[in-house]
Chains A and B, each alone.
Chain A
Amino acid sequence: MLWYKTWRENELRFLISALVLSGICTAAVLFERMFRAQLHATSAPLSSYAGYIYLRIYGGFARGTFLVLALVLGLGGLQRERAHGSTGFTLMLPVSRGRLTGVRAAVGLAEILALSLLPVILVPGLSPFVGESYPLSQSLQFSLLWVSFGSVVFAAAFLSSVIFTSEYSALAVSLAVFFIYPLVARLPPLRPYPLHIHYIMNGTGMAYFDPRTDLLVGPLPWTVLAGAVAITAALVAYAAVLTERQDF
């Protein structure tokens, strides 16, 4: 039943996130002609439908939105309950704090997974309506990239939600880190390392991405993905340890 409570706590956030992301994907596919005409007028012509999808969804706007949503989903938890005065009730339940944290992380990560699968359903599913097609395998591979790094962003926000007493400071700090981090990752001494999550996710300058076709080619960077999973696990574990030690 802890799952139920956790789900109820961020049900609304998740549904809004899902709605926003589906809206972006659906609009991008269904109004493809209109958007492409606009793009045509303002910038260099797009070579293909895949290029258009990459621009709207996997490369840019939708992906960025997804990460912000992942960040928002990471907030909440006991600190938020403190503001609502229900910590006493939650902490009296005969469950350990570790379990409280674990269940919240698990529900959040499941939601990240669900969000990242939305384009997999929507993009290849809706493309035939506009007389186009988009390969499912491409969508799946991009989703894998999304879910790995969405989890990292989620876990970072999750940790900040445990550390900061106010939910607003947790949000502010997470957002600040979210926007400053890519700048740091682009500093010359760090450039050789696979640290820039935006570039890893959209393949900019990566061997597994072909910028001419805007499609993923070759094997995904499995070690980097494994690293993302490990970082997620470490952040969540640290959050659990902190929660266990907290006084309230």
Chain B
Amino acid sequence: MTSDNVIETHALAKRYGDVDAVHALSFQIRGPSITGFLGRNGAGKSSTIRMLLGMIKPTAGSGMVLGHRIDDPKQSLLIRRRTAYIGEEKGLYAYMTVEQLVRFTSSFYPDWRPDIEQRLLRMYQLPLRRKVKALSKGMRTKLALLLALSRRPALLILDEPTEGLDPVSIEELLQMLTGIAAEGTTVFFSSHQLAEVERIADSILIIERGRLVLDVSLDHLRENYRRVTAGFPARPPEAEFRLPGVERVRASGRQITVLASRNADAIVERARSLSAVSVEVEPVSLREIFLDAVRTDAPAEAR
């Protein structure tokens, strides 16, 4: 295990009864970068995050965060000292006021930065004397961010950070994430908002039913993923398109659509050699890739 990786897991697994929440998950994340962690509801994103943070214990496999083992309570403490986490519910102590919560949280971190705290308090215009339970979800998210960022964590993990926020707050949040990543914090966030992920992330991980189905940099994806649509005078032979890099072939009538993760040129070449009357090559959006990645296993679910 190298120390360059901010997060790395090896065959990480979590079982609840006979349900495989996470299965043989292996990935590495280098910092500082922004990684989007994608998957459908119940795909195992939260379980993975909670294992990384030592809240739940892996059934098998191992993982390291910032060079510390995730399954050792003592090392988990070291991880948590330099990692911030904002959960989906943004659950904070409802009975405390904003000021009390900030004081409370700051007492745990010797590297707390009062200057950042003050700036963020002013920027977010958080009402110091208001109780947390009286804050809107947007305000709560900002408060959670303030608590996370006022100590410059090495790693910031967010679970569905934009969930329930209005568009303005979402934009602010995304901008904040890019800003702190540029300051050296590695950002790892789960989201269903693919358009957001596509904008800010360096790379993405897609998991489906606990298994990693895609681990790719978005630059690579933009450069290499293509959808080739070819029209033929007669019904085209689908099998001819089973080339390396082809993820999916779909024929409808005389048209054939190929989703390729690389090698688009060869596919175009093949279409031409099969005397295609029209060939169109288009970039593929993250949305399509995501849907394709999680749909591949769809029949298994029906079983």
B85 and A92 contacting across the interface, CB-CB below 8 Å? yes
Q: Is the CB of B95 within 8 A of A9?
A: yes
Binds B, one of A82-90, A155-163, A208-216: A82-90
B80 contacts partner chain A, Cβ-Cβ < 8 Å: yes
Query: Does chain A have a CB within 8 A of B107?
Result: yes
- Alpha-carbon separation in the docked complex, A248 to B161 (Å): 20
Is the Cβ of B56 less than 8 Å from the Cβ of A248?
Answer: yes
CB neighbours of B262 from chain A (8 A):
none
Of B74, B87, B100, which one neighbours A88 at CB under 8 angstroms? B87
Q: Of residues 38 to 58 in B, which have CB atoms within 8 Å of A's CB atoms?
A: 50, 53-57
Cβ distance B168 to chain A, nearest Cβ, rounded Å: 24
A5: which B residues are within 8 A, CB to CB? Answer: 93, 96, 104
Provide the residues of chain A in CB contact with B216, threshold 8 Å: none
- Residue B192, interface by CB 8 Å: no
Looking at A15-23, A94-102, A185-193, the stretch in contact with chain B turns out to be: A94-102
Query: Number of A interface residues, CB 8 Å?
Result: 22
B89 at the binding interface (Cβ < 8 Å): yes
Proximity string of chain B (85-99) to chain A, C-beta cutoff 8 Å, 1 when within and 0 when not: 101010111111000
Q: Which A positions have Cβ atoms within 8 angstroms of B?
A: 1, 4-5, 8-9, 81, 84-89, 91-97, 244, 247-248
Docked-complex contact B77 and A96, CB < 8 angstroms: yes
Q: How far is the CA of A89 from the CA of B56 in the complex (A)?
A: 14
Interface residues of B in 82-123 (CB under 8 A from A): 83-85, 87, 89, 91-96, 100, 103-105, 107-109
**Which residue on B lies nearest to A99, using beta carbons?**
B77
Sample of 13 further A-B pairs with CB below 8 A, known A84-B91, A89-B87, A94-B109: A1-B108, A5-B96, A8-B100, A9-B95, A81-B91, A86-B91, A86-B92, A89-B93, A91-B53, A92-B85, A93-B80, A94-B81, A244-B73
Chain A neighbourhood of B95, CB < 8 A: 8-9
Q: Which residues of B contact A96 (CB under 8 A)?
A: 73-74, 77
Kindly provide the distance from the CB of B81 to the nearest chain A CB, expressed in whole angstroms: 4
Task: Decide yes or no: A95 and B108 within 8 Å by CB, A86-B92, A89-B87 being known contacts.
Answer: yes
Instruction: Give the Cβ gap from A101 to chain B, nearest Cβ, in Å.
Output: 13
